[in-house]
Amino acid sequence: MIDLTDGREGKLILRFAIPMFIANVFQQLYNIIDSVIVGKFIDKNALAEVGASFPIIYALIALVIGIGSGGTVVISQYFGAKNIDKVKKSIDTIFIFLIIASVLTSILGIIFCEPLFKLLQLPDELIPNASAYLRIYLGGMIVFFGFSGTSSILRGMGDSRTPLMFLIGTTVLNIFLDLLFIIVFEWGIEGAAWATVLSQTVGLIAITVYLHRTHDIMKFRLFSLNFDWSIFKDIVRIGLPTGFQQTFVALGMMALLGIVNTFGTDVIAAYSVAGRIDAMASMPAMAFSAALATFVGQNIGAGKFDRVKKGLIATIKMSTIYCLFITAVAVGLGHYLMMMFTDDANVVSIGYEYLIIVSSFYLLFNMMFMYTGVLRGAGATLIPMFITLISLWIIRIPIAYFLSDHIGESGIWWAIPIAWFVGMIGSYIYYLTGKWKNKGVAKVQTE
């Protein structure tokens, strides 16, 4: 555990962010490895089928993950306030919520996956295999929520290393199972889904056993969990706007995919691959933002508001350096990165165009996430929800539809940084108002 309420702000945030960044990279490797092996050892149709599944997966889990993030904020603030009893009650409440939510998500996704693919105008020949992949993946939601929920709780208490250790292990296992199921057993894209589910299952079991033996606060007690309604109300108050925000993003991804799907298999495959690279490139900003959120949560819980601004400035400086480096890599090596996934020249060309356009504006994305990190750590999640709603549904989707109709698929790519700009400006303005400072739950320390 790391106490983020004392010491040099930048050094603490960097120390906390690096394991989170590495963990996020390995988390993305789940998706990237699936795509690389599917694209190289099956075909571009399979690559498109796997890629088409992820916006639907994200849409189904976004609300739950968003509400769960409210739990991380609550835990970080109580931990900063040194209220361990409340921390334990918060952990129990989050786990009960995640167990129920995972079962409902699996059932809904398995039932409605084919209608969703049809709604998104996925070519008919891709729907059967895409549905088979998605059903297997969704069948493992309980282990996905269990592993990610446990990791988020630990990060809320300042421990970003333990989740990293187990995530690396599950990713290595996922690589092995991908190769075994797809190349040796020839299970097709269903093998990729089984590899992910089984590796996450092993990861959840391993981290649960480890924490039960070594961690007093995180001892596993399935049949003696206590649900605290008052804490759950705080979690929902903080997390529900984030959940809606993530849902808006997920539905926006589906809407964007619906526009992409009208351009055919090559563009779908290119969007799938470039999206994987783009997601990996965004990891530094997301890791710094998450670290900053925990830093802000703990310091607000401890009543140390003066450290929040210092932490923000230090984080912006560090994340900007990483952001510029990532942009240079994406622009300079994007063509070769695309070729890691597929040998199809047209798919590579379309995907590289995406990377050139989008990666040139990563600095906007970075600044947007830094201000959002402060707001989320403070528990001020309602206004960011509306900012996301505006930037996505009033800016990105209409512009993508309009530009793609006039200049082709590149119009979809241009809509992404335009929306980032609007989101960054909105988040910055709300940060300047200072109204986020009184949204916490650990009132004793701040009054």
What HEC string does 57-113 produce?
A: HHHHHHHHHHHHHHHHHHHHHHHHCCCHHHHHHHHHHHHHHHHHHHHHHHHHHHHHH
Whole-number Å distance between alpha carbons of 227 and 92: 6
Whole-number Å distance between alpha carbons of 236 and 243: 9
Region 248-270: mean pLDDT is 87
Cβ partners under 8 Å of residue 200, min gap 6 = 140, 143, 144, 147, 170
Location of structure tokens 């539905």: 251
For 145-198, the DSSP string reads HHHHHHHHHHHHTT--HHHHHHHHHHHHHHHHHHIIIIIIS--THHHHHHHHHH
Region 130-147: mean pLDDT is 92
Q: Is it the case that residue 444 has pLDDT exceeding 50? A: no
Q: Which two tokens stand for residue 354?
A: 């995406």
User: Which of 98-112, 291-305, 313-327 has the weakest average pLDDT?
Assistant: 291-305
Under DSSP, the state recorded for 4 is T
Q: Which two tokens stand for residue 33?
A: 């490895």
| Mean confidence (pLDDT) of the chain | 86
- What tens digit of pLDDT does each residue of 336-346 get? 999 988 888 99
Q: Is it the case that residue 447 has pLDDT exceeding 50? A: no
Report the percent of the chain where pLDDT is more than 90. 34
**What pLDDT is attached to residue 439?**
66
- What tens digit of pLDDT does each residue of 90-99 get? 888 988 899 9
Region 198-204: mean pLDDT is 93
Whole-number Å distance between alpha carbons of 331 and 334: 5
- Asked whether the CA dihedral 149, 151, 155, 158 is positive or negative, the reply is positive
Whole-number Å distance between alpha carbons of 12 and 64: 29
Q: Which two tokens stand for residue 304?
A: 């140390």
**What pLDDT is attached to residue 282?**
84
Region 84-113: mean pLDDT is 90
Q: Is it the case that residue 428 has pLDDT exceeding 90? A: yes
**What pLDDT is attached to residue 419?**
94
Whole-number Å distance between alpha carbons of 21 and 326: 13
- What tens digit of pLDDT does each residue of 10-32 get? 888 898 888 878 877 777 776 67
Report the percent of the chain where pLDDT is more than 70. 96
Q: Which two tokens stand for residue 108?
A: 């809904």
Comparing C-alpha atoms, which of 378, 392, 366, 393 is closest to residue 433?
378
Asked if 355 contacts 272 with a C-beta cutoff of 8 angstroms, the reply is no
User: How many Å separate Cα 96 from the centre of its chain?
Assistant: 21
201: confidence class by pLDDT, cuts 50, 70, 90: very high
Whole-number Å distance between alpha carbons of 192 and 32: 11
**What pLDDT is attached to residue 1?**
59
Location of structure tokens 């250790």: 165
More confident residue, 1 or 350: 350
Region 57-86: mean pLDDT is 82
**What pLDDT is attached to residue 445?**
40
Whole-number Å distance between alpha carbons of 363 and 353: 18
- Residue 90 identity (one-letter amino acid): S
Region 58-65: mean pLDDT is 83
Region 312-329: mean pLDDT is 91
Comparing C-alpha atoms, which of 356, 294, 278, 288 is closest to residue 316?
288
Region 228-252: mean pLDDT is 84
pTM of the model: 0.71
Burial class (CB in 10 A: 0-12, 13-18, 19+), 390: middle
Angle (CA) 76-79-82 rounded to 5° is 155
Region 202-211: mean pLDDT is 88
**What pLDDT is attached to residue 442?**
54
